[in-house]
Chain A
Amino acid sequence: MKRDWTRRRAPLALAVAVVVSVVAVVAVVSATTTREGVALSIAIDLAIACVTTLSQPDLKSSHPVVSRAALTLLGLDVAIFITFFLNSSTNFNLATGAAMSIVLLGLSFLTGASGQISLGNGAFMGVGAFAMAIWSNHHATTPIFLTLLIAVGCGALVGLLLGLPATRLRGPYLAGMTLAFAVAFTFILSSFSSWTGGDSGLQLPTEASAPRWLDGFFHAGTSPLTTTTLYITDVAIIVAGVAFFFMANLFASRTGRAMRLIRDNDVAAELVGISLPRARVVAFIVSSAYAALGGALLTLINNSVSPATYSFALSVTILSLIVIGGIGTISGAVIGGIIYAFSTNVISWITTQTGLNPQGNFASQLNGIIFGGLLILTMLFAPLGISGAVRHLWSRVRARTQG
């Protein structure tokens, strides 16, 4: 009886909270005149609504989807709110990081959940990036979100094409095949240079610009760059949030559990009736669709796409980032995205702090030395990455305080 009551209570709570926050917003909007006040109240109300929902006992077990939705909403709310106060270059880095974290999420799922190794996710990313650019150059009027979906579709299709032969392959052979695809990708682009623009790549026909109403939030004289970058960053963060929400559900779903079983023991998985080839193809498609989404976002963010970006080294970078972040986890993808976004800043900060000549041989190679070293150390001492290490520490702290 009590259980039933809580079961009904959680969605009700979310609904009530949202209604209350809408009423509050209306009240505040009519009361205040400053746009900042409006923005702040929307953000706080939304946050309160989410927190209220999340504080329902047993929400996680009784309504996992609602709980994840509230968590995603809360994360988006806080992240978007913060972007309003950052300068445009930090925002731009955040946007790139958000796009990259989507790619990382796909690889985290493929490798971490289903045990397959892919060295070709940079190329899948390129598929999405070029699909986005080519489509917008031919149909400039298509809305952004629709173009993104088309790019995702292209990525999924290429994923299917490569995933089919990949189902029969184990470990190193799969690595070999995806590596060959990653290396061949730039050459495939060159072979269709009338479509892909050859070595120079493509520009988007129009620069995505912030809608009018957004300008109103800023003081007069704020440069259009700031508002545009902010807009693009928030689009990227929202897309990433949606992608994370879907992935979190997928991880927890029957498919996700089946995949983990395959990773841990494929023979046992087959015995309980899981179709190995089908599960592997699905994992491959999901991972390449996510990569394509990230690539398409990156095209949108940069307003252009160049084939040189999607070389084999990018695939290696992607693999490295998810390993450092924590493979097989969702938080690992976030951490990896943040590292990607801010590593250059951190390294140039180190260069200035240590007094190295920034144009010297050593300083210019510092990036590679630190990044490669971090990769080795992570694998040797914390194979589950930063996410795994933090979780481990946390559980130890908890054990100590409770015991």
Chain B
Amino acid sequence: MDPFLTSRIVTDVLGGLTNGVIFGMVALSLVLIWRSTGVLNFAQGAMPMFATYVGFALLSYHFGYWACVVACVIVGLLIGGLTERLLVRGLYGKPEINPIVVMVGFLIVLEAVAAAIWSSFPRSLPTPFSFKDWQLAGKPLALSPFTVYEIVTALIVMTAVAVLFRFTKLGLQLRASAVAPEVSRLLGVRVGRLLTLGWMLSTVVGVITTILVASNLFQGLTPTVMDGIFAYGFIAAAIGGLESPVGAIVAGVLLGIINQFVTDYVNQNAVIIIALVLLIVSLMIRPSGVFTKRSERRV
């Protein structure tokens, strides 16, 4: 067989892709909320974490994996919608720091409540997919049924979001109410309802990401499972530009691949330092993200 596919470079690219799609999804969910409501959602990791705990509590009643996934998504929709209605609604138009602080508070509360109810001991989320890498000529290819499931799921979610925004009337309204809420309101769009919908959508993207992360082989679901990943997702979103879903995904995937190469060729400690340098350099060149269309500041 072709030794190229099991070479160090391909292995790193594939490994990086697996992490990268996760970063991309987190970045995408952040962008969805930022674009529609101008809120930097620090609880973007914690809200789905909570939903996943609730959904997978069903596992102990011997419901199957897919039933639990559906339950998680429904709980995610509820949490996303309720958060927007009850917590965030009053904060639109306030200084930038207000929603940030509220969401930080929400993050702290959710993690504490999850640990109080389910303890911080890791829980296993079994999936129907094998974790064993496929072998080529006796050497492992950096892909397993589980990683393929991970990547494919991420691609489906990303495509679905893109289709929704580009090709549906709902998507058009979502975009319109984000860009010009007053005009949209005049045109009969129910902006309030759409904002809620934006949060629900973003939380569902987050729930799917959390399930993928927590079903990973060597770790389970813990209240802090998304903390590290959230940081990378946020960095990716800032590099790509908070206005651009495509930028978020591309930056996330690239960040994942670069991380893998740095881990392999430099060392683990350098990973986040390189990410910081990348972020600073890219922001020096494009202060509003690489993929954001250059626009004059409103005066």
A contacts B directly (C-beta below 8 A): yes
Q: Is the CB of A380 within 8 A of B112?
A: no
The answer to whether the Cβ of B270 comes within 8 Å of any Cβ in the partner chain is yes
Provide the bound-state CA to CA distance between A173 and B239, in Å. 9
Stretch at the interface among A56-64, A124-132, A179-187, A224-232: A179-187
Q: Is the CB of A376 within 8 A of B109?
A: yes
Distance from A248 Cβ to chain B, minimum over Cβ atoms (Å): 23
Q: Is the CB of B40 within 8 A of A175?
A: yes
Provide the bound-state CA to CA distance between A260 and B111, in Å. 36
Q: Is the CB of A372 within 8 A of B235?
A: no
Stretch at the interface among B48-56, B95-103, B124-132, B160-168: B95-103
Among the listed A180, A181, A320, A380, which residue makes an inter-chain contact with B104, where contact means beta carbons less than 8 Å apart?
A: A320
Mark each residue of chain B from 226 to 253: 1 if its CB lies under 8 Å from any CB of chain A, else 0. 0000010011011000100000000000
Q: Is the CB of A173 within 8 A of B108?
A: no
Q: Is the CB of B276 within 8 A of A180?
A: yes
Provide the bound-state CA to CA distance between A371 and B112, in Å. 10
Interface centre among A319, A327, A383 (most CB of B within 10 A): A383
The answer to whether the Cβ of A190 comes within 8 Å of any Cβ in the partner chain is yes
Interface SS of chain B: helix, strand, loop or mixed?
Answer: helix
Contacts of A379 in B (CB 8 A): 91, 98, 101-102, 105
Among the listed A117, A184, A374, which residue makes an inter-chain contact with B97, where contact means beta carbons less than 8 Å apart?
A: A117
Mark each residue of chain A from 357 to 369: 1 if its CB lies under 8 Å from any CB of chain B, else 0. 0000110111111
Provide the bound-state CA to CA distance between A371 and B272, in Å. 29
Stretch at the interface among A30-38, A164-172, A234-242: A164-172
Q: Is the CB of A173 within 8 A of B283?
A: yes
Contacts of B96 in A (CB 8 A): 117, 171-172
The answer to whether the Cβ of A27 comes within 8 Å of any Cβ in the partner chain is no
Provide the bound-state CA to CA distance between A198 and B57, in Å. 40
Provide the bound-state CA to CA distance between A361 and B223, in Å. 13
The answer to whether the Cβ of A176 comes within 8 Å of any Cβ in the partner chain is yes
The answer to whether the Cβ of B148 comes within 8 Å of any Cβ in the partner chain is no
Provide the bound-state CA to CA distance between A312 and B231, in Å. 10
Q: Is the CB of B109 within 8 A of A372?
A: yes
Q: Is the CB of B87 within 8 A of A376?
A: yes
Provide the bound-state CA to CA distance between A117 and B275, in Å. 20
Among the listed B98, B242, B273, which residue makes an inter-chain contact with A184, where contact means beta carbons less than 8 Å apart?
A: B273
Q: Is the CB of B115 within 8 A of A365?
A: yes
Provide the bound-state CA to CA distance between A319 and B106, in Å. 14
Provide the bound-state CA to CA distance between A226 and B288, in Å. 54
The answer to whether the Cβ of A191 comes within 8 Å of any Cβ in the partner chain is yes
Provide the bound-state CA to CA distance between A224 and B26, in Å. 53
Known contacts A165-B284, A191-B270, A184 near B109 by CB under 8 Å: no
For chain A residues 174-202, which have a beta carbon within 8 Å of chain B? Answer: 175-177, 179-181, 183-184, 187-188, 190-191
The answer to whether the Cβ of A259 comes within 8 Å of any Cβ in the partner chain is no
Q: Is the CB of A172 within 8 A of B34?
A: yes
Mark each residue of chain B from 260 to 287: 1 if its CB lies under 8 Å from any CB of chain A, else 0. 0000000001111101100110011001
Q: Is the CB of B272 within 8 A of A183?
A: yes
Q: Is the CB of B235 within 8 A of A180?
A: yes
Q: Is the CB of A375 within 8 A of B288?
A: no
Among the listed B97, B113, B283, which residue makes an inter-chain contact with A177, where contact means beta carbons less than 8 Å apart?
A: B283
Provide the bound-state CA to CA distance between A236 and B184, in Å. 56
Contacts of B289 in A (CB 8 A): 173
> In chain A, what residue has the closest Cβ to B108?
A372
Contacts of B104 in A (CB 8 A): 316, 319-320, 372, 375
Interface centre among B96, B105, B270 (most CB of A within 10 A): B105
> In chain A, what residue has the closest Cβ to B287?
A168
The answer to whether the Cβ of B299 comes within 8 Å of any Cβ in the partner chain is yes
Contacts of B188 in A (CB 8 A): none
Contacts of B299 in A (CB 8 A): 267
The answer to whether the Cβ of B90 comes within 8 Å of any Cβ in the partner chain is yes
Contacts of A372 in B (CB 8 A): 104-110, 112
Distance from B111 Cβ to chain A, minimum over Cβ atoms (Å): 6
Known contacts A180-B276, A320-B101, A371 near B115 by CB under 8 Å: no
For chain A residues 83-116, which have a beta carbon within 8 Å of chain B? Answer: 111, 115
Contacts of B110 in A (CB 8 A): 372
The answer to whether the Cβ of A323 comes within 8 Å of any Cβ in the partner chain is yes
Q: Is the CB of B100 within 8 A of A175?
A: yes
For chain B residues 72-90, which have a beta carbon within 8 Å of chain A? Answer: 87, 90
Distance from B125 Cβ to chain A, minimum over Cβ atoms (Å): 21
Known pairs A183-B231, A373-B109 / 16 extra A-B pairs, C-beta < 8 Å:
A171-B96, A173-B242, A175-B40, A176-B283, A177-B280, A180-B238, A187-B272, A319-B101, A323-B97, A361-B115, A365-B113, A366-B112, A369-B112, A372-B109, A376-B106, A379-B91
20 A–B pairs (Cβ distance < 8 Å), ordered by A: A115-B95, A117-B97, A172-B34, A173-B242, A176-B234, A176-B237, A177-B279, A184-B272, A191-B269, A312-B231, A319-B101, A361-B115, A361-B116, A361-B117, A365-B113, A368-B111, A375-B105, A376-B102, A379-B101, A383-B98
